[in-house]
Amino acid sequence: MNRLFQLLLLFIHSCVSIHARVWNDTGTGTIVLEEAWTIPELSTQTGALNVSLQDIHNQRLTQMNENGIDYMVLSCASPCIQGISDPATAGAMAVHANNVLASQISNSTHRFGAFAALSMHNASEAAAELKRTVGELGFLGALVNDYQQSGANNDTLIYYDQPEFDVFWQMVTELDVPIYFHPRTNVATISTLLYAHAPWLNSAAQEFAATVSTHILGLCTNGVFDRFPKLKIIVGHLGERIPSDLDRIDTQLLSQLPLGMPMLLNVSTYFRQNLYETTSGNFATPLLRLHKETIGLERILYSIDYPFVNIPSGTAWVNGLDKVLTPKELWYLKRGGAIKLLKLND
Ligand SMILES: *[C@@H]1O[C@H](CO)[C@@H](O)[C@H](O)[C@H]1NC(C)=O
Ligand SMILES: *[C@@H]1O[C@H](CO)[C@@H](O)[C@H](O)[C@H]1NC(C)=O
Ligand SMILES: *[C@@H]1O[C@H](CO)[C@@H](O)[C@H](O)[C@H]1NC(C)=O
Ligand SMILES: *[C@@H]1O[C@H](CO)[C@@H](O)[C@H](O)[C@H]1NC(C)=O
Ligand SMILES: *[C@@H]1O[C@H](CO)[C@@H](O)[C@H](O)[C@H]1NC(C)=O
Ligand SMILES: *[C@@H]1O[C@H](CO)[C@@H](O)[C@H](O)[C@H]1NC(C)=O
């Protein structure tokens, strides 16, 4: 009986394992990495979006083929696990979602990769699940949807810029994988206070960037990058507005130094050493030019934000950049930067 059970576990394990990741650098198409997927248990979308989020091998793959996308990194649609306040439920759901994703892409690992979903209630448990998904499932890193909500009323917010998360960042550094910081919709307490007067500003127009940029600047000002100088964090939507405002941010933060701010360098420097941005859902050519100047093109990666943003609009934009970028720069934006950051050739 015991032996049978072991064999069963082994079988289940082999079903979800995608460790033998297939990748080779013979293609010329794009690589995109802020692309959402979900399972029925976690879906908050209705109608066509719900269907698109759960699909991988049908309309998603068809559009990838039609639009020259070689490789797509999938991650669990916001808020995913960050929307689950109960720690035990969150932990179990993260493992489940990761196993389902691994098994769904296991026959197409030359086209699809994955970022893990993580319960962030407990930093050591998050570290352990990251280690499992990278080591056993071949995942390329993780994507967190901003703060972890917690507590009976959902209004305890856990930020990963506190010292108790050092154990998590230590594991991230050891595994040498990037963590993507994706936005989320605020818990009711916050969104009522901030957006009830103008509810149209909920979600992508204002709320997302405003909320997640605070978390990212929290990592900077609390010295996380000083303690973990090799950390790689990816930020979507052309940097959630931060690189457009670096002058003012850096200048104003100087005045916080005498007040005990632990940050040793400045945000501009972290954007050249630790932070990467993608173009997901923000195809603004003038901004791309500015960011190329301020943070450097080697920090910028192409992405779309499917299915919230349609794939052909991304394709039209990125292909039109041949008027703005050299062929080598364009290759880096579309493909080369992702190969390097995700270590696809290693
Ligand atoms: C390289 O990729 C191509 C296209 O995806 C595939 O057909 C081929 O089998 C791959 N080669 C290796 C050695 O993995
Ligand atoms: C999304 O679709 C699944 C079935 O695929 C269904 O179980 C779920 O309730 C739907 N979600 C919403 C919010 O409609
Ligand atoms: C992979 O499996 C899915 C079912 O989970 C199927 O729809 C798809 O066609 C398969 N792809 C390949 C390349 O075999
Ligand atoms: C986090 O999880 C670990 C391992 O399960 C446990 O030892 C530790 O007490 C937990 N920490 C907190 C703050 O609950
Ligand atoms: C807490 O959030 C969950 C989903 O995020 C929701 O279903 C639940 O109603 C919320 N509870 C309270 C007390 O607001
Ligand atoms: C940020 O730090 C870099 C490196 O020390 C420095 O060159 C730059 O002037 C600083 N920027 C601001 C606005 O202080």
In a mutational test of the pocket of ligand 1, which residue from 23, 25, 26 has the highest number of ligand atoms less than 8 Å from its CB?
26
Tell me how many degrees the CA angle 212-131-125 measures, rounded to the nearest 5: 65
pLDDT value of residue 203: 96
Which pLDDT belongs to residue 17? 54
Cβ(299)–Cβ(270) below 8 Å = no
CA distances from 55 to 109, 110, 175, 250, 309 (A): 15, 17, 29, 42, 15
- Sign of the four-CA dihedral 101, 127, 300, 83: positive
pLDDT at 127: 98
CA distance 40 to 59: 18
Whose atoms come closest to the Cα of 127: which ligand?
A: 4
Domain total for the chain?
A: 1
Tokens of 243: 């690189």
CA of 119, nearest ligand number: 4
101 Cα–ligand 2 center, Å: 17
What is the bridge-based pairing of β-strands 148-150 and 156-158?
antiparallel
CATH number at residue 204: 3.20.20.140
Inform me whether the pLDDT recorded for 9 exceeds 50: no
Active site residue 305: yes
Q: How far is the CA of 85 from the centre of ligand 5 (A)?
A: 8
Binding pocket residue ranges, ligand 5, CB within 6 Å: 83, 85, 153-154, 188
Token digits for 127?
């570290």
Report the pLDDT averaged over residues 153-167. 97
**HEC secondary structure over 160-185:** CCCHHHHHHHHHHHHHCCCEEEECCC
Report which DSSP code applies to 56. Answer: S
Task: Look at residue 20 and tell me if it is in a domain.
Answer: no
Furthest-apart CA atoms within the chain: distance in Å: 67
Domain-located, residue 325: yes
Does pLDDT of 326 surpass 90?
yes
Is residue 10 pLDDT above 70, yes or no? no
Nearest residue (by CA) to ligand 2, atom 12, is 46
**150 SS3 class:** strand
| pLDDT of 7 | 46
Q: DSSP assignment, residue 115?
A: P
**15 vs 251, more confident:** 251
Binding site membership of 46 for ligand 1 (Cβ less than 6 Å) = no
Q: Does the C-beta of 24 come closer than 6 Å to ligand 1?
A: yes
**Is position 154 within any domain?**
yes
Determine the distance from the C-alpha atom of residue 263 to the mean position of all C-alpha atoms in its chain, rounded to a whole number. 24
From ligand 2's centre to the CA of 214, what distance in Å? 32
Answer whether residue 278 is part of any domain.
yes
In a domain, 5, yes or no: no
Query: Residue 116 is which amino acid?
Result: A
Q: Which residues line ligand 4 (CB under 6 A)?
A: 122, 124-125
| Pick from 13-22, 77-86, 193-202, 301-310: least confident | 13-22
286 has a pLDDT exceeding 80: yes
- Residue 6: pLDDT band with limits 50, 70, 90: very low
* pLDDT at position 73: 98
Ligand 4 mean position, distance from CA 160 (Å): 15
Q: Is 255 in the pocket of ligand 1 (CB under 6 A)?
A: no
Residue 63 has pLDDT above 60, yes or no: yes
Ligand 6 proximity of 269 Cβ (cutoff 6 Å): yes
Helix residue ranges per DSSP H, 184-310: 188-195, 207-221, 224-227, 246-254, 267-273, 285-294
Burial of 338 (0-12, 13-18, 19+ CB in 10 A): buried
- For residue 117, how many other CB atoms are within 10 A of its CB? 30
- The preferred substitution site among 254, 255, 269 for testing ligand 6, maximizing ligand atoms within 8 Å of CB, is 269
pLDDT at 18: 54
Q: Tell me the two tokens of residue 184.
A: 């989320």
Mean pLDDT of the chain: 94
Average pLDDT of the residues in 80-104: 98
Looking from the CA of residue 46, the nearest atom of ligand 2 is 14
Q: Please check whether residue 22 lies inside any domain of the structure.
A: no
- How far apart are the CA of 342 and the centre of ligand 1, in A? 18
Identify any residues that bridge with 233 across adjacent strands, giving them in sequence order: 179, 275
Catalytic, out of 70, 146, 161, 305: 305
* CA angle, residues 203, 204, 208, in degrees to nearest 5: 70
Ligand nearest to the CA of 39: 2
108 Cα: distance to centroid of ligand 1 (angstroms): 11
Rounded to the nearest 5°, which phi and psi values hold at 268?
-55, -45
**Domain ranges, residue 45:** 29-342
How many angstroms separate the CA atoms of 207 and 195, rounded? 8
Strand ranges (E), the chain: 30-37, 69-76, 112-114, 142-145, 148-150, 156-158, 179-182, 233-235, 275-278, 300-301
Of all atoms in ligand 6, which is nearest to the CA of residue 266? 1
Predicted pLDDT of residue 27: 84
Neighbours of 88 (CB within 10 A): 10
pLDDT tens for each residue of 21-61:
667 677 889 999 999 999 999 999 999 999 999 999 999 99
Find residue 74's DSSP bridge partners: 35, 114
Atom of ligand 3 nearest to the CA of 106: 1
pLDDT at 305 over 80: yes
DSSP state of 335: I
Confidence of residue 19 (pLDDT cuts 50, 70, 90): low
DSSP 123-148: HHHHHHHHHHHHHHH----EEEESSE
Residue nearest to atom 10 of ligand 1 (CA): 24
